[in-house]
């Protein structure tokens, strides 16, 4: 992590509007953006200051997964790399494709 990157992000935090987004990368249909989150007050009286986070979403979606800490990113990487997910998503895709195929009588 470079000091230059930290300074750029501090500047973004001060200049961006709440919920403003800045694209970081695009991979296929997945977009990763930096998003500015507003100050948040909890029911217990605590306050989380405004801050920047990563948002990972599909390009056609408005909402996404918000990542704030390095630990959350590592948990996501570990979870997504599970071979069990490969099997599940292939089965889900097969069911989806079977339901979207239209057959017409001849």
Per residue in 18-42, pLDDT (tens digit) is 999 999 999 999 999 999 999 998 8
- 62-104 confidence digits (pLDDT tens): 999 999 999 999 999 999 998 899 999 999 999 888 877 666 7
Give the global pTM: 0.78
DSSP state of 105: -
Query: 40, 30 in Cβ contact below 8 A?
Result: no
In whole angstroms, give the CA distance from residue 6 to residue 79. 28
């Amino acid at each position: 992590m470079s000091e230059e990157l930290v300074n750029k992000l501090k500047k973004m935090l001060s200049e961006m509007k709440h919920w403003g987004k800045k694209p970081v990368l695009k991979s296929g249909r997945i977009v990763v953006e930096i998003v500015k989150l507003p100050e948040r007050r909890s029911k217990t009286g605590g306050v989380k200051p405004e801050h920047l986070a990563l948002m990972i979403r599909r390009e056609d979606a408005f909402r996404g997964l918000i990542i704030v800490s390095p630990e959350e990113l590592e948990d996501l990487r570990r979870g997504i790399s599970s071979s069990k997910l490969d099997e599940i998503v292939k089965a889900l895709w097969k069911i989806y494709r079977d339901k979207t195929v239209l057959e017409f009588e001849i």
